[in-house]
Amino acid sequence: MASVPMTHRVFVYGSLKRGQWNHPLLNDLHAVFKGEAVTQQRFHMLNGSVAQSRRFPVLLEDHPASSARAVAGEIYHVNDECLAQMDRLERVPDSYERKVVDVTEDGHAVQAFIYVGNATRWSNSGWPLWTGTNDTGALDWNEE
């Protein structure tokens, strides 16, 4: 008996967002954009880089609450294959952990997967905090 493919709700906040450099992965794997959303949980965001050429954000849960804010992003519905590719891209579990969080989508709370930085990997990176916000005060990353 063939297994039924699952659809997963994923919240993206960085290089996978529309217009960002990793977004083609979502298009290639037929992810379905469902809309903009914001996390209910507060995080702080590091502004990282790859060989000083590509920038990307890292969310962390383990820093002082004074720097923590809700995070703006996008919701996608993805299949099992896309979720597995996203796990590889985010280097789960070494660099990121895939967790479930509550997000506000179209005015109501839903649960979605989110990639949160592995604190052991990123806490001592020395990367600066990302402080850019949208008009509601949520952290809103874009490649500078």
Taking alpha carbons only, the member of 111, 142, 144 closest to residue 23 is 142
Known catalytic residue at 90: yes
Asked if the structure places residue 55 within a domain, the reply is: yes
pLDDT of the residue at 45 = 93
Coil, strand or helix at 95: coil
User: What is the model's pTM?
Assistant: 0.90
Q: Which domain holds residue 15?
A: 7-122
How far apart CA 136 and CA 57 sit, in angstroms, is: 19
- Per-residue pLDDT tens listing for the chain (144 residues): 555 567 999 999 999 999 998 999 999 999 999 999 999 999 999 998 877 678 889 999 866 666 789 999 999 999 999 999 999 999 999 999 999 999 988 888 999 999 999 988 888 888 888 999 999 999 999 876
Asked if the structure places residue 13 within a domain, the reply is: yes
For position 80, which CATH number holds?
A: 3.10.490.10
Q: Which of 90, 97, 105, 144 is catalytic?
A: 90
Asked if the structure places residue 12 within a domain, the reply is: yes
Task: Look at the chain and report how many structural domains it folds into.
Answer: 1
Whole-number Cα distances in Å, 91 to 22, 29, 70, 80: 14, 18, 24, 16
Asked if the structure places residue 60 within a domain, the reply is: yes
